[in-house]
Structure 1
Amino acid sequence: MKYVIGVDLGTSAVKILLVNQNGEVCIEISKSYPLIIDKSGYSEQNPEEWVEKTTAGLAELVEQFEGDVNDIEGMSFSGQMHGLVLLDNQHQVLRNAILWNDTRTTKQCQEIYETVGKQKLLEITKNPALEGFTLPKILWVKEQEPEIFERASLFLLPKDYLRYRMTGNVHMEYSDAAGTLLLNVAKHEWSTEILEAFDLSPNLCPPLVESQAFVGSITAKVAKETGLSEGIKVFAGGADNACGAIGSGILSEGKTLCSIGTSGVVLSYEERNDLDFEGKVHYFNHSEENAYYTMGVTLAAGYSLSWFKDMFAKDEAFDRFLDGIENVPAGSNGLLFTPYIVGERTPHADSTIRGSFVGVDAAHERQQFVRAVLEGITFSLNESIEIFRSSGKKIDSIVSIGGGAKSDVWLQMQADIFNAKIEKLSSEQGPGMGAAMLAAYGCGWYPSLKKCAEEFIQTSKTYLPIEENVKAYRKLFAIYQQVYRQTKELNQKLSEFRK
C-alpha cells in the first residue's frame, strides 16, 4: 500500500494526515501554536513555530507508522491565506508573520483604492481591498517599519514558507497568490500595474506554479529530523479554502460548499475567469488547473452559536444545548437574529455593524433563541448563495461541512433556507484531505483530481427542502435583509461607546 501526507497549516494548529490509496486516513496528528496579539486588531505568529510544530508532527506520524517510510510517496500543503512572511536576501525571516485576521491596515486599503481605483482593482485582482489581504500588510510594513522593508527581498504566504523550509525551494501557487491583491487572477501572473503603482519590485514576488506542481523533495536535514525518506515528492498545495473545496469534491460547475466553522464560507466552483460579481464575493484561482471559485464569508458563523452558548449555557453539553430546537417551527415564533457580532464580510464589508435580536417577546423561551441564532447564521450564508444565483448560477446541491454538518436539524434548516439538496459527507477531513489529494494526483495515482475525488469522497446522507419551510423562510429572509439597512446608522452611533 502507498501513502501520501496532507499538511494543513491552520491559524491555531497544524493538522497532518497520512492517507492511503483508498482515501482512508490512517494517522492524524495535530500540533498547536499561539497567536501573538500585541495590540487590539493585531494578529501575528512566529513562522519558526510552524516549522518546529510541523517537523515534530511529521516525526510523530513516522513513529506511529508501522510500514516502510519509502511507501509514503508524496506530500502537499494547505494553509491559512493572506498572511505576510517577509524574508531578507538570505531568506531569513525579518519579522513575525502578519495574519489574515489582522485588521491594522484600514488606512492602507483606502490608499490602494485611491492609487489604483476600485474598478481597476476589481478588474485585475477580482477582489476588493480588505484588511485581511496581503498587499495592505506589505504597504503597512513599508510605511511603519521602513528599516525592515528596506531589507525585504521576498514575501511568502504561510504554507509556502513552511514548504520552503521543508524543501529549500521557493514557490507560490495560484490559489494562495489570488488572495494577495497582487495577482492578475485571469491572466495567472503577477500584476506589473499594481506593483509599479506602489513602487514594489517584481523580485519581491516568488515564482508561480500550479497547485499540483512537483516542487522538490525534502532536505536531508528534514529527513533526519522526521524520519521521512529523502525521496518523498513534495507538491505545491493550495490555499485552505481551495483545498477544503477539493477535499469536499467541489470540482465541477454547479458544485457548491457550505463550511461552518468559527467563520462561515459558501464556495462555488467556476470554470470561467470573466464573471463580474462587482466585488460582492471573493473570486480566486482554484487548486485545480484552469479553474476558479467564488466565495462569500460570514465572519461569525459558528462563533455566534458558541458565543450565545458561552453567555447563557457555558457548562452545558452541546447536544443538550440544542435539545428541543427541532420542535420550534421555522421562524422561531417571530424571533430573528443577525450574526454581525464581530462585524460582517459578505455582502456587507462592514467592521462597525453589530448583531441584533429582533422581535423578542416575553413568551420566547431558550429554544427559540437558539433556533433563531442558527437561522440567522444560515440566512447570512444564504446571502452569498443568492449573489451566486443572481449571476445566473444554478445551485441545487450543496455539500455541508464543519459544525453545521453535525446537527440533523441544522442540515435540514440549510436545505430549507438555501432551497437546495444538502449533502453530508461520510468522512470529513477538510483542507488536509485536499492537500493529500493534490499529492495523490501529483504522484500519478489518478488521471485527474475529479477521479481522485470519486474514490476518496462519499456522501453519507442527503437532506431535501421541505416546501412549507421554504415558503416561510423566503418571507423571513426578506425581513432579515432589511435589518442591516435599518440598524447600520444606529450601530455607527453606538460604536463610540464600545471599549
Structure 2
Amino acid sequence: MEYVIGIDLGTSSVKALLVDKKGNVAGETTATYPIFHDHDRYSEQAPDDWVKETKNVLRELINKYDLNKDDIKGLSFSGQMHGLILLNEENNPLRRAILWNDTRTNEETKDIEEVIGQNRLWNITKNNPLEGFTLPKLLWVKKNEPLIYKQATTFLLPKDYVRYRLTGRMGIDLSDAAGTLMLDLNKNEWSTEILEELGIPHHLCPPVFPSDTYCGGLLEGVAEEIGLSKDTKVFAGGADNACGAVGAGILSKGKTMCSIGTSGVLLTYAGEEKTHFNGDLHFFNHAPDGKYYAMGVTLAAGYSLQWFKEVFLKEQDFSECIAATASLPVGSRGLLFTPYLVGERTPHIDPFVRGSFIGMDSSHRKEEFLKAIMEGITFSLKESLDIIQENGMEIDTVIAIGGGAKSEVWLQMQADIFGKKVVSLTNEQGPAMGAAIIAATGCQWFSSLHEAAQNWVKEGTIVTPQPSNVKEYEKLYPLYKKVYHHTKGITKELAEFRV
C-alpha cells in the first residue's frame, strides 16, 4: 500500500496524517509543545521543539501502523503563519520564535504605516499592517534586540524551519510568505521597496517558491532517526489557511470555507484576480501557483463558546446544550452577543473593543445565552462574507469545517444567516489533509491540486436556508452591526478597570 503524509504544525501541537491513494485516512498521530508567555502580550515557542515533536509523530506513525519505510511516497507541510525565526550563520535559531498571536509590536505596526503609507501597503502587499504579521516582529527585534538582529543571516517561518531541518532546503512557500507583509503580491517576490525603506537587508529574506515545489528527500540521518526512506519526496507545503482551503476543496470560483476553531475564518477562492479590499480583508497567495484567496477573521469564534462553557456550563454535556438551542426562536428572545472577547479583526481592526451581551433580562436562560453566542459568531463571519460579495466575488456554496461543522443546529444557523447552501465534509481533517493533497499531487497521483481535491474531498451533510429564519435574521443582523459602534468607546474606557 502506498501513502502520503500531511504534517500540520499548529500553535499548540503538530499532527501527522497518513492518507492512502483513495484519500482514506489510514492513521494519525499528534504531539504537543509548550508556549512561552514571559511578558504581557508575548507569545513564543522554541523552534527545535517543533522539529523534535515532528520527528516523534512521524516515528510514532511508522511504528503504530507497522508501515514499511518504502510505503511512504511523499510528505508535505501545513503551518501556523507569521511566526518569526531568526537564524545565524550556522542556520541555528538566535532566539525563540515570536508567534502569530504575539501582540507586542503595536509601535512597529504604526512605524510601518507611517513610513510606507497605507495605500502603498495595500498596492504592494494587499494587506493592512497588523501586529500578528512577521514584518513588525522583525522590526521589534531590530529595535529591542540589536545584537541578535546583527547576527541574523536569514529568517524563516515555522513550518519552513522544520522542513529545512528535515531536508536541508532553505526557503518559504508563497502562501506563507504573503503573510509576512514583505512580499510584493504583484510580482510574487520580496518587495525591494518595503525592505529598503525600512532598512531591512535583502539577504535576510530566503528564496520563495510555490507550495508544490519539490524540496528533495530527507537528510540521511533524519530518515534513519524517523524510520523513513531518504528517498521519501518532500514538498514545500503551505500556510495553514491555504492548506485548510485545499483540504476543504476551495479551489474554484464560488467556493467559500467557513472554519470555526478558536478563531473563525471565512475564506473564498479568488483565482488569479488580485485586489486589496482596502484592507478590509486579508488577501494572500493560495497553494495552487498563481492563485489567491481572500479571508476575514473573527478572533474569538470557538473561543467564545469555550469561555462560556468553562465559566457557566463546566459540569454539563456541552453538545446536549448546543442541541437544546434548536428549539429556541431566532434572536434568542431578544438577546445579542458580540464575540469581541480578545478584540476583533474583521471588519473592525480593533484590539481594544470587548464583547457584549445586549438585551438580556431576568427571563433569559443559559440556552438562550448559548444560542446568542453562536448567532453572534456567525453574524461576525457574515460581515466578512458581505465584504467579499460587495467586491463582486460570487459565493454559492459554503464548506463548513471545524467546530461549526460538527453540529447540525449550527450548520442550519450558518445557512440561515449566510443565506447560502452550507456543506459539511465526511473526511474533514483540516490543514493536514491539504498538506497530504499537496504531497499526493507532487507524487503525480493527480495532475493538479484541483483534481486531487475532487477525488479526495467528500461532501457530507448539505443544509439549505429556511426562508422563515432567513427573514428573521435579515431583521436582526443590522441590529448586531450597530453594537460595535455603540460599545467600542465604552469598552476602551473600561480598560483601566481591568486588573
TM-score strictly above 0.5: yes
Distance 1:43 1:485 in 2: 30
Counterpart AA for 1:9: L
* Preserved CA contact (<8 Å) 1:258 1:265: yes
Q: Give how far 1:169 is off.
A: 1.4
SS at match of 1:94: coil
Q: Give how far 1:163 is off.
A: 0.1
* 1:281 paired to 2:277: no
SS at match of 1:440: helix
Which string of whole-angstrom CA distances, capped at 9 and with x for unpartnered residues, describes residues 262-302 of structure 1? Answer: 00000000013432410000000000111000000000000
Which string of whole-angstrom CA distances, capped at 9 and with x for unpartnered residues, describes residues 188-223 of structure 1? Answer: 110000010111111101111110010111101111
SS at match of 2:5: strand
* Preserved CA contact (<8 Å) 1:45 1:98: yes
* Preserved CA contact (<8 Å) 1:84 1:99: yes
Q: Give how far 1:379 is off.
A: 0.3
Distance 1:265 1:151 in 2: 37
Distance 1:209 1:20 in 2: 27
Matching of residues 371-410 of structure 1 within 5 Å = 371-410=371-410
Q: Paired residue for 1:257?
A: 257
* 1:47 paired to 2:38: no
Q: Paired residue for 2:355?
A: 355
SS at match of 1:362: coil
Q: Paired residue for 2:458?
A: 458
Distance 1:89 1:38 in 2: 27
Q: Paired residue for 1:429?
A: 429
Q: Give how far 1:71 is off.
A: 2.2
Distance 2:488 2:351 in 1: 11
Q: Paired residue for 2:85?
A: 85
Distance 1:396 1:167 in 2: 41
Q: Paired residue for 1:224?
A: 224
Distance 1:166 1:458 in 2: 32
Q: Give how far 1:67 is off.
A: 4.0
Q: Paired residue for 1:19?
A: 19
Counterpart AA for 1:285: N
Distance 1:135 1:350 in 2: 19
Which string of whole-angstrom CA distances, capped at 9 and with x for unpartnered residues, describes residues 332-357 of structure 1? Answer: 11111000011000000101100111
Q: Give how far 1:84 is off.
A: 0.2
Counterpart AA for 1:467: P
Q: Paired residue for 2:149?
A: 149
Matching of residues 54-93 of structure 1 within 5 Å = 54-93=54-93
Q: Paired residue for 2:110?
A: 110
Q: Give how far 1:368 is off.
A: 1.1
Counterpart AA for 1:375: E
* Preserved CA contact (<8 Å) 1:396 1:419: no
Q: Paired residue for 2:236?
A: 236
* Preserved CA contact (<8 Å) 1:264 1:301: yes
Distance 1:403 1:159 in 2: 24
Aligned residues with identical type, % of pairs: 54
Give the TM-score normalised by the residue count of structure 2. 0.99
Which string of whole-angstrom CA distances, capped at 9 and with x for unpartnered residues, describes residues 168-202 of structure 1? Answer: 11011100000000001121110000010111111
Q: Paired residue for 2:10?
A: 10
Q: Paired residue for 1:318?
A: 318
* Preserved CA contact (<8 Å) 2:253 2:394: no
Distance 1:440 1:379 in 2: 37
Distance 1:295 1:398 in 2: 13
Deviates more, 1:388-397 or 1:129-138: 388-397
Q: Give how far 1:107 is off.
A: 0.2
Counterpart AA for 2:65: F
Q: Give how far 1:323 is off.
A: 3.9
Distance 2:362 2:222 in 1: 63
Distance 1:34 1:96 in 2: 12
Give 5+ residue unaligned stretches, structure 1: none
Distance 2:473 2:60 in 1: 49
Give 5+ residue unaligned stretches, structure 2: none
Q: Give how far 1:306 is off.
A: 1.0
Q: Give how far 1:419 is off.
A: 0.3
SS at match of 1:486: helix
* Preserved CA contact (<8 Å) 2:400 2:422: yes
Distance 1:393 1:122 in 2: 19
Deviates more, 1:361-370 or 1:221-230: 361-370
Counterpart AA for 1:256: T
Which string of whole-angstrom CA distances, capped at 9 and with x for unpartnered residues, describes residues 86-114 of structure 1? Answer: 00111011000000000000000000001
